[in-house]
Amino acid sequence: GQQLNQSPQSMFIQEGEDVSMNCTSSSIFNTWLWYKQDPGEGPVLLIALYKAGELTSNGRLTAQFGITRKDSFLNISASIPSDVGIYFCAGRGPPQGGNEKLTFGTGTRLTIIP
Amino acid sequence: GAVVSQHPSWVICKSGTSVKIECRSLDFQATTMFWYRQFPKQSLMLMATSNEGSKATYEQGVEKDKFLINHASLTLSTLTVTSAHPEDSSFYICSARDTSGSSSYNEQFFGPGTRLTVL
């Protein structure tokens, strides 16, 4: 199935640093979502974006819905140890037969170096 | 709110046996649930969309006779892996969308996943 291109694939940062990751698609999406997955767990929703150009924050997390509707980015400010995990973007397309289906990005693995 | 549970959390079975995984929405009703499969260090791949009271919709390349889905109620969907083989070993995750408006986001909430190992 289709996947979204997410970069970087992995990040190694020190505690306190800011983090930025992005997701791009060849298709237009109506909704962009960002999830975090811890090892052995299911993804947890962090932020949802519904309008092109929308900028939304959730605590130290900020995400934007690209104006072209083909991309989105997620920023994490002042990283802390519990930010470690895998971050996935997900897009939901214009209404078609599979309106509710999500397409997931390839993931960004965040590691904090002590 | 919007909690999704899965049972079992892990299962080990012999090749050729069938395994049933349950997905429940604990505090909301879900007319649609989704089943994903995730191999190590890979992303989530949608297998099928489970619709309450009707047949599931399978993604291209997913064998409907091998992965049986039953969405018998508004809070329960089951995935049965029939005649499991080692290549079916994976992390199976379900999700459900809370459309009642009681959650902050009207989006898919995921279960904790089921780790299937086929010997």
Q: What number of C-beta contacts closer than 8 Å exist between A and B?
A: 55
Average pLDDT of chain B to the nearest whole number: 91
Chain B residues with beta carbon closer than 8 angstroms to that of A100: 32, 34, 49, 97, 108
3-state secondary structure (DSSP) of residue A83: helix
The model's confidence at residue A56, banded by pLDDT at 50, 70 and 90, is very high
The pLDDT of residue B53 is: 83
Q: What is the 3-state secondary structure (H, E, C) of B76-108?
A: EEEEEECCCCHHHCEEEEEEEECCCCCCCCCCE
With a cut of 60, say whether residue A98 has pLDDT above it. Answer: no
With a cut of 80, say whether residue B106 has pLDDT above it. Answer: no
Residues A15-51: tens digit of each pLDDT: 999 999 999 999 899 999 999 999 999 999 999 999 9
Residues B45-66: tens digit of each pLDDT: 999 998 888 889 999 999 999 9
Q: What mean pLDDT do residues B14-35 have? A: 93
Cβ-contact B48, B57 below 8 angstroms: yes
Cβ-contact A101, A91 below 8 angstroms: no
Which of A51-65, A95-109, B9-23, B54-68 is the least confident region?
A95-109
Strand extents, DSSP E, B1-119: 4-7, 10-13, 19-25, 32-38, 45-51, 57-58, 67-73, 76-81, 90-97, 108-110, 114-118
Residue in A86, A105, A84 with CA at minimum distance from that of residue A13 = A84
Q: B46 vs A1: CB contact, 8 Å cut-off? A: yes
With a cut of 90, say whether residue B28 has pLDDT above it. Answer: no
> How far is B20 from A35, CA to CA, in rounded Å?
27
3-state secondary structure (DSSP) of residue A82: helix
